[in-house]
Amino acid sequence: MNGRPTSTITTADELLRLPDDGFRYELVNGELRRMTPSGYPHGVIVMNVTAPLHQHVRKHGLGQICAAETGFRIGRNPDTVRAPDAAFVRSVRQGGQSEGFYEGAPDLAVEVLSPSDTVFEVEEKVAQWLRSGCTTVWVVNPRQRSVTVHNADGSVEVLTEADTLEGGELLPGFLLPVAEIFRW
């Protein structure tokens, strides 16, 4: 992600009306941030997490999985709209959504690190997700071949390829061997 702001706008509504120029944007405290396109390995890893997650959620009627382009408005005045690489919203929270960004945080945000991500940017995203009501954030690190699970209660767990990513109370019965996330 390119963390440098490209310009300042005031609202999420202005972000929603931006013309399509081929880039994705996030809005952080009123600052527009362009997100550079991800590389091929990033896309493969995102799908290796998202596909089994989507299958599990759909099979058990737990809610919806959203793709990377989905914006979540997690702050106002100034507005903040973030777009994780994948997100899960429980079915009990889906009512009342119409056009535009989802109002509030997803229950689960999945962030797959890109080579351009800085430690500061990742920590900022995780903190924003959790402060705004996200139950869990999975940070997938392709270089270390690990997944760090951040929970709203402050607990953090680092999983390696020898471990299994579990859905816990949020996604009962979901199991994904971490090694499968990095499988080509």
pLDDT per position as a tens digit, 136-168:
999 999 999 999 999 999 999 999 999 999 999
Stated pTM of the model:
0.91
How many CB atoms are located within 10 Å of the residue 169 CB? 7
Is the CATH code 1.20.120.530 the one for domain 39-181? Answer: no
Q: What pLDDT, in 10s, does the model give residues 71-103?
A: 999 999 999 999 999 999 999 887 656 688 999
How much is the average pLDDT of 26-40?
90
DSSP 156-179: EEEE-TTSEEE-TTTSTT-EEEHH
Q: Are 122 and 147 in contact (CB under 8 A)?
A: no
Closest C-alpha to 109, from 153, 58, 71, 143: 71
Indicate the SS3 state at residue 121. helix
Indicate the SS3 state at residue 153. coil
Q: What percent of the chain stands above pLDDT 70? A: 92
How many CB atoms are located within 10 Å of the residue 124 CB? 14
